[in-house]
DNA sequence: GCTCATTTGTTCGTATGTATC
DNA sequence: TGATACATACGAACAAATGAG
């Protein structure tokens, strides 16, 4: 057992181990915060050297699946750790402004029939039904964002049975990660300017026909699976949407 | 010479080597595309093991400063390699659309006095002068973006002496990287919706007072030094600005 | 506060595989 | 084919952080 590699399979040993662990995390068999087996044990089990185990684990640290604490152990990471490369909106007046603290109000959560282009974006059949979540975000009592989210019912069963505060106290992605083990890996966004329609203008307390920022967002979880399509209308006179690349 | 570490300096050897190489690249002593010394030689020079050199080099590969080709060598990377974590705008109609190919027209390049908030954003004194670059971006003969860039004169001396095509054939960041060795490391952006003023509306060939997407961008090079402040006005009825996070 | 077992972090050295020219 | 350079893998030793007793 000096060499686990054969001529037929050029896949490095560390890579196989790395993939094995990644899969366990993606399937939810190893959950965020959990301490995994120490290097030494993993090396014994897989009959490889410590160095090989180290390489596999460090690669997964780089990819954001694990984090390590010297003297304590190796742990499964949650979305928050990967969030340094995943930025959600912040609202600023200018580049030196402090971040605005937003309050969330849930307007409506209901089941709706599948529709286009939503289902196409979510990569589900057109007859699959959706959850529709309408929310209003406030900055100091003033509404500044109105958003409508669409999620596959099949993926988030019984979402309507959760208490309302779940959607008002934490961001949607935090709620979904906790309750459905669906971490956000990356987002796609489209930015545009549009004119507020009557309903949106009323909700955002602006005059009908004013220019608002329109953002379409598609959020992806593991294996490039889209799980949320969201449309947002933002009042940007005072505060603009901030993005750090 | 068994251990290079002393009690007084707990900084790992690989980290010092890593920083040394990174500095050489940042200062332009080692330029993009250049092949650096092989592992073995670096190990001899610094009197460390191959493994330690490897660790330093692999970290810099991960940070985007180097790339390695088995059997050939280790090379200094250009901005393009780091660009996977640095996205510039793309224009799409929807999430499944193909990217639009834009043509650039330089409207004006002139020296102007320093002004606020520009100089503050660029972290330069208020008496330092600027270059102002006005450009128009076309998609199939139709203007869709009007942008005004501000750069520190001191940092880009003789920029006005470059031929016009430099600003029309390649993106501004490519031109700056090539001619001034100023690679883009990250951007900050502010998105908003606004109403086109008379001049902007005329340039973008839209009716006065229509909603346009307004983007403010601050670009940073090494050591968190801002080098460009840009304001862009985008027509987004057909195509929206795409962002991949 | 101290000791000690555990765990990760760093460094070394060696051998072999594989890609490039 | 051979020389060179990077990639993988092994094993060993010690440093440094953690937490329990």
- The pLDDT averaged over each successive group of 10 residues in chain A (245 residues) is 41 90 85 87 92 93 86 80 51 69 87 92 91 90 91 90 79 78 77 88 88 87 83 79 61
A88 to chain B: nearest residue by CA? B245
User: Does an H or E element contain B194, and which?
Assistant: strand B186-195
Domain ranges of chain A: 13-76, 83-241
Provide the CATH number for the domain formed by A83-241 in this structure: 3.40.1410.10
B196-235 pLDDT, tens digit each: 888 999 999 988 878 888 888 888 877 678 899 999 999 8
A163-174 pLDDT, tens digit each: 888 788 667 877
Q: What secondary structure, in 3-state letters, does chain A show?
A: CCCCCCCCCCCCHHHHHHHHHHHHHHCCCCCCCCECCCHHHHHHHHCCCHHHHHHHHHHHHHCCCEEEECCCEEEECCHHHHHHHCCCCEEECCCCCCCCCCEEEEEEEEEECCCCCHHHHCCCCCCCCEEEEEEEEEECCEEEEEEEEEEECCCCCCHHHCCCHHHHHCCHHHHHHHHHCCCCCEEEEEEEEEECCHHHHHHCCCCCCCEEEEEEEEEEEHHHEEEEEEEEEECCCCCEEEEEC
Cβ contact, residue pair A244, B190, below 8 Å: no
Q: What is the pLDDT of residue B7?
A: 38
Interface mutation vs chain A, best among B86, B97, B116, B191, most A CBs within 10 Å? B191
A234 touches chain B (CB under 8 A): yes
Mean pLDDT over B74-86 rounds to 63
B58 touches chain A (CB under 8 A): no
The per-residue pLDDT of chain B, averaged, comes to 82
Confidence (pTM): 0.77
Nucleotide closest in space to A35 (CA vs C1'): C7
A10 touches chain B (CB under 8 A): no
Q: What is the pLDDT of residue A239?
A: 62
Facing A193 at nearest CB: one of B188, B211, B243:
B211
Residue with CA nearest to D8's C1' atom? A12
A201 or B188, higher pLDDT: A201
Q: What is the pLDDT of residue A144?
A: 87
B32-71 pLDDT, tens digit each: 778 899 999 999 989 999 999 999 999 988 888 888 888 8
Q: What is the pLDDT of residue A241?
A: 67
In three-state secondary structure terms, B95 is coil
Alpha-carbon distance B82 to B65, whole Å? 8
Pick the CATH number of A13-76 from 1.10.10.10, 3.40.640.10, 1.10.4080.10, 3.40.50.170: 1.10.10.10
Asked if the model's pLDDT at residue B141 lies above 80, the reply is yes
């Amino acid at each position: 057992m000096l060499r686990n590699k054969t001529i037929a399979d050029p896949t490095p040993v560390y890579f196989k181990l790395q993939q094995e662990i990644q899969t366990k995390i993606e399937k939810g068999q190893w959950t965020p915060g959990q301490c995994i087996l120490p290097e030494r044990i993993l090396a014994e089990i897989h009959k490889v050297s410590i160095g090989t185990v180290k390489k596999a684990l460090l690669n997964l640290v780089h990819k954001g699946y694990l984090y390590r604490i010297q003297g304590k152990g190796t742990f499964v990471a949650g979305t928050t750790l990967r969030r340094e490369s995943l930025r959600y909106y912040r609202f600023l007046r200018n580049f030196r402004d402090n971040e605005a603290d937003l309050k969330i109000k849930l307007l409506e959560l209901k089941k709706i029939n599948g529709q286009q282009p939503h289902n196409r974006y979510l990569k589900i059949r057109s007859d699959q039904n959706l959850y529709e979540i309408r929310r209003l975000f406030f900055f100091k009592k003033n509404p500044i964002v109105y958003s409508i989210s669409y999620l596959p019912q099949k993926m988030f069963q019984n979402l309507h049975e959760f208490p309302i505060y779940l959607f008002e106290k934490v961001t949607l992605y935090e709620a979904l990660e906790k309750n459905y083990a669906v971490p956000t890996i990356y987002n796609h966004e489209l930015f545009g300017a549009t004119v507020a329609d009557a309903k949106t203008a009323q909700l955002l307390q602006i005059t009908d026909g004013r220019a608002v920022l329109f953002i379409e967002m598609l959020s992806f979880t593991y294996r490039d699976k889209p799980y949320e399509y969201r449309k947002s209308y933002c009042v940007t006179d005072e505060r603009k949407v901030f993005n750090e690349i």
